[in-house]
Amino acid sequence: MARVKRAVNAHKKRRAVLEAAKGYRGQRSRLYRKAKEQVTHSLVYNYNDRKKRKGDFRQLWIQRINAAARENGMTYNRLIQGLKAANIEVDRKILAELAVNDTNAFAALVEVAQKALPSDVNAPKTAA
């Protein structure tokens, strides 16, 4: 059986890990074992933060919508409730975009939502 030399593969693997660890501080960029641990953790952080980014953007959109809705005399909560009552399906990303870039269109949506809401919020619901 022929002898298998693995030095080339080992060096290639180590070089790849150390390349990925460039820019890290101290031993984490120079020593293979420390660099490997840090690169693995970095990949985990990267994955989790890609998931977290979606929630962060949703939170930002809601803040922008709420601010614009309050400028038009309505709260975020009531705006969403009114849009659902009026059967208008606009997602929060588009609403936030309208709130920032097209205030007239957003104001029109607020008017529609206002009209779709009952005048007395605390009135008992009647089965009709």
Q: Give domain status of residue 123, yes or no.
A: no
Q: Give domain status of residue 125, yes or no.
A: no
40 and 64 share one domain: no
68 and 111 share one domain: yes
Q: How confident is the model at residue 127 (pLDDT cuts 50, 70, 90)?
A: low
Q: pLDDT tens digit string along 49-88? A: 999 999 999 999 999 999 999 999 999 999 999 999 999 9
Q: Give domain status of residue 3, yes or no.
A: no
pLDDT at site 126? 63
46 and 61 share one domain: no
pLDDT at site 110? 96
Q: Give domain status of residue 122, yes or no.
A: no
pLDDT at site 119? 76
Say whether pLDDT at 124 is over 80.
no
For residue 107 the two structure tokens come to: 């104001």
73 and 111 share one domain: yes
Q: Give domain status of residue 121, yes or no.
A: no
Q: pLDDT tens digit string along 87-122? A: 999 999 999 999 999 999 999 999 999 999 887 766
Range of the domain at 70: 53-116
pLDDT at site 123? 63
Q: Give domain status of residue 59, yes or no.
A: yes
Alpha carbons 61 and 73: distance in angstroms, whole number: 18
Number of domains in the chain: 2
21 and 70 share one domain: no
Contacts 24+ apart (CB under 8 A), 105-111: 106/68, 106/72, 107/72, 109/79, 109/83, 110/69, 110/72, 110/73, 110/74, 110/79
112 and 76 share one domain: yes
57 and 110 share one domain: yes
Say whether pLDDT at 15 is over 60.
yes
